[in-house]
Every structure is written in structure tokens, then in C-alpha cells.
Amino acid sequence: MGKLDGKITIVTGATSGIGRRTVEIFVREGAKVVATGRREELGRSLEASLGTENCVFIRTDATKEADVEKMFDACISKWGRLDCLFNNAGGPSPVGGIETIPVEGFDAAMATLVRSVMLGMKHAAPIMMKQGSGSIINNGSVAARRAGYSTSMIYGAAKAAVNHLTVCAAMQLGEKNVRCNSISPGGIATGIFAKALGLSPDKADSYADAMKAGMAKNQPIPRAGITDDIANAAVFLASDDSTFINGHDLVVDGGLVGGRLWGPHQEGVKAMRAAFGVDEA
């Protein structure tokens, strides 16, 4: 038996990275998935690989309300209910100092990262409240918790908005037995970093594996995060194992935001001892 047997789910931003892997693992765990995104060819390949009895791709721009409405209509038309929405769609934001941020880039980032989440929750809520059950999962970031954990300060600010909006909605929808939680990934090897630096989406995705060696040094767990780490966290929040978890931000970062790394810190202590002429205890 799978952890999501019989669950009807929607995953946005499903054509690559975290979203695509989440769809694959949701299906493996027994869910039926409406996968959405803007890149039709990649979405159709995902649908074909999993079979239309398990996964249906709907081309969707998650920033446009009409597209979002069609996404939900397609889910209800095919499977009659909605048990989980994973608001995963996202993208890069303007980089550089605050004095350099273009207004149009700021507005586009807020639409991609915050408006999309709001729209997803707005249209999922009536369905789930009527059912008296459901789980909404929003993709946050450790950049929402600590400055300097993204190449873009705008990305961090947008994700902070996502995390707080999640809690605000959780306080409302929890009264109807609908849960809202977020997942805050740390350094996950996907193409989003290369996209943030200006590479096209198709090229950026190919650089994911190349980033793993460097990212393995950023946190106590000595490896880069992978898409499975976030997908498995989403499985937990979508499943009946988490029915008393609401308004929570699940940080999946290998300890990145916990503080200073132990090993380098101890090397610094040794260096100070040597400078002061103090023997080690």
C-alpha cells in the first residue's frame, strides 16, 4: 500500500525539478495527479511516462487566475475531488542590491512566487472546505528565514510572504479541517540557481548535477539536497500521517539554518588558541 492511496492531488510547476519529482513520487505512493506548468513538451512527457490513468498534464500559468480555475476544473471533472494541492510553481527573481531592482522584475517575481500561491489557495479552499478535508502545501525557502540564503533578496522577501500567508490561511481553513503548511527547502540541486543567473530554463536544468559538490559543503549533512528530499516531505504533509499538523513550516535543509558549522568553527578555535599561546585542553 502507498502512503497516498486514493488521494487526488494537484502539483504546480511540475515540468522539472522539485515539482516533476514530486509528481513521480506521489504517483508511486498511490496518488492521482494533475500536473501543471508552462512547458508543454516536458509536461506531456511526464504524463506519458506515468500514464493518463495516474497523471494528467494541464498547461497552466500559475500567475493567471483563468488558468488556475481551469486547472481545478480539470481535476474535479476527471476525479471528482481534491485532497492535496502542492503550490510549487516558482522561478528566479532579480539579483543585485536594492538600489538596482527593476520594478517590472520585482512585480514579475511577486506574481510568480506569491500571487500563484494565493490563487492556488483561493480556488482550492472552497473545494476542500465543502469536503471537510484537504491539505495545501506551499513551497517556501530557507531564504525566507535568513537573509543571504538566496542570490536574490527579492526571492527571500517573496518566500517570507509565502510562509506567512500559509500560516494566515491555516488559521482560517483549519476550522474546516483543511490544513495549510509550507516546506522550506535548503540547498536543493535544481536548475533554479542557474536560472537566477540568467540561463534559459532548458539549459539551466542540465546544470543541477554539477552543483552538488559545492552544495555538499554548506550544511552539517555532507551532501547536496536533492528533489527527493522535498518530494518525500510533501508526501508526508499530503498523507494522513500529518492530520494534526497545520500552520507549520517544515524546513528541509540538512541543518543549513541551524548556525555555524561545527568543523570550521573548531578550526577557528584552534587558530585562536595558537595565536594566544594557549594549549588545547
Q: Which residues are catalytic?
A: 155
DSSP state of 35: E
Instruction: Give the DSSP H or E segment for 149.
Output: none
CA distance 223 to 215: 7
DSSP state of 225: B
Residues 34 and 9 sit within 8 Å (Cβ to Cβ): yes
CA-CA-CA-CA dihedral for 91, 95, 97, 101, to nearest 10: -70
Residue keyed to cell 526571492: 155
Q: From CA 46, how far away is CA 54, in angstroms rounded?
A: 11
130 backbone dihedrals φ, ψ, rounded to 5°: -65, -40
Return d(Cα 233, Cα 188) in angstroms, integer: 13
Residues facing residue 279 across a β-bridge: none
d(CA 49, CA 34): 14
**Geometric angle at alpha carbon 32, from 28 and 33, rounded to 5°:** 95
Cell of 120: 492556488
Helix, strand, coil tally for the chain in percent (to 5): 55, 15, 35
